[in-house]
Amino acid sequence: MTLENTFFKQSRPFRLWYMVGLLLFLARSAAAQDTLYFDKNFEPAGNRANAIYREIRECDSVETKRCTVTTSLTTGAIISVVRYSDYPEGIRDGLCSFYFANGKPCLETEYQNGHWEGNETSYYPSGQLKSKEFRKGGRVGFGNYYHPDGSAKTEISWEEIKHLDLIRPVRFRGEPYIPQAYLRSALHFPRSALRDGQPELAILSFVVEKNGSISSLKIVTPTPSQVLNKEALRVVANMGKWEPHQVNGVPERNRFLFPVLFE
């Protein structure tokens, strides 16, 4: 007896429930897909003719914040595949892959709910393995590093561990550190907002988009004072564009934690 015959010999209610379940499964599995085009500065290009980059964003139809974003040149060469558990908040989850212009892998990193957790593997443009590290809690647990000829390295620099030849972190006006001097000049608040005159710290979270603009700005660790919290949000919202996180010279969307000190 074939599977088809078995199915049609079932009662009509059974067949209806089966079809409903199948449709629900297909709806759950389907992903909403958007295709966007950008110019060389990752500003919206409007159409493919004026674009350098193409971004395909596929999001789960039920867990709509869970997305996979594939960025490529309009010629077809893939630049990156980044997976998010929460795309608006920039929280990466799963294997994220980045590529050289020749199509060979550049960097592969595993994330769990926004944190480096698992293997991180880098390559030379030839495709030769460059390093393989295991990270736990965002820190390197152990790793192996190699020369371009495949032989193991015995001495490793901090720059190699941080992949500074491939990765350039988020910057503000060329500075790789938190711009405390800028904050001191930009913050305006009454001294009475400080409890007993003691310093207060607010920690903000936001996403630096590929074009340097910021989104999803919010406070993750507030001060006890609403006056200070509102001032922290105001100052960061008015900071203008940042220099985005880059992998192999190409901007990448990146979540950033930003402390604001009131003293």
- Domain of 229, CATH number, reads 3.30.1150.10
- Shared domain for 161 and 197, answered yes or no, is no
Whether the CB-CB separation of 202 and 262 falls below 8 Å is answered with yes
Residues 59 and 96 in one domain: yes
| Residue 1 in this model has a pLDDT that exceeds 60 | no
Q: Bigger pLDDT: 22 or 53?
A: 53
| pLDDT reading at 135 higher than 90 | no
| pLDDT score, position 16 | 58
* Pair (33, 79) in one structural domain: yes
Q: Look at the chain and report how many structural domains it folds into.
A: 2
Q: Identify whether residues 205 and 75 lie together within a single domain.
A: no
Chosen domain end from 145, 167, 189: 167
At 117 the pLDDT is 87
- Both 190 and 250 in a single domain? yes
Q: Are residues 221 and 129 in the same domain?
A: no
76 falls within a domain: yes
Q: Is residue 38 part of a domain?
A: yes
CATH number, domain of 54, equals: 3.90.930
Residue 151 and residue 199 in one domain:
no
The verdict on 85 and 200 lying in the same domain is: no
224 located within any domain: yes
Is 37 within the bounds of a domain?
yes
- pLDDT digit string, tens, across residues 93-106: 999 999 998 999 99
> How far apart are the C-alpha atoms of 123 and 129, rounded to whole Å?
5
Choose the final residue of a domain: 142, 167, 192. Answer: 167
Same domain, 33 and 99: yes
161 and 189: one domain?
Answer: no
Of residues 85 and 48, more confidence is placed in 85
pLDDT value of residue 2? 47
Q: How far apart (Å, rounded) are the C-alpha atoms in residues 120 and 184?
A: 37
- Better-scored residue on pLDDT, 139 or 27: 139
Last residue of a domain, one of 125, 146, 167: 167
User: Is residue 134 domain-shared with residue 202, that is, in the same domain?
Assistant: no
pLDDT level of residue 51 (50, 70, 90 thresholds): very high
Q: Domain check: are 221 and 155 in the same one?
A: no
In this prediction, what percent of the chain has a pLDDT beyond 90? 60
**What tens digit of pLDDT does each residue of 194-247 get?**
988 899 999 999 999 999 999 999 999 999 999 999 999 999 999 989 999 999
- Please give the pLDDT value at position 84: 96
In a domain, residue 2? The reply is no
**What pLDDT sits at residue 52?**
94
Question: Quick check: is 1 in a domain?
Answer: no
Residues recorded for the chain: 263
Residue 162 located in a structural domain: yes
Residue 4 confidence (pLDDT) above 50 = no
Evaluate if residue 14 carries a pLDDT over 90.
Answer: no
Mean residue pLDDT of the chain comes to 86
Could you tell me the residue range of the domain that residue 17 belongs to? 7-167
